[in-house]
Amino acid sequence: MDYFAGIDVGSLSTEAVILDAHNGLVGYSIIQTGANSTDAAEEALDKA
């Protein structure tokens, strides 16, 4: 099965979402971005 991930890194929060091939929600997370946006994106995706 295929999965699709989206990540939005903002100055205050980072959001990640994972959808299946039928656009069904598999998981999501919202975390504080902090000083390192790359780390925040990886953490948000891990938690989703």
- 3 pLDDT tier (thresholds 50, 70, 90): very high
CA distance 6 to 40: 13
Q: What is the pLDDT of residues 7-45, one digit of tens each?
A: 999 999 999 999 999 999 999 999 999 999 999 999 999
Structural domain tally of the chain? 1
Judged on CB neighbours under 10 Å (0-12, 13-18, 19+), 45 is middle
Residue 27's domain comprises 3-47
- Looking at residue 14, what is its pLDDT? 98
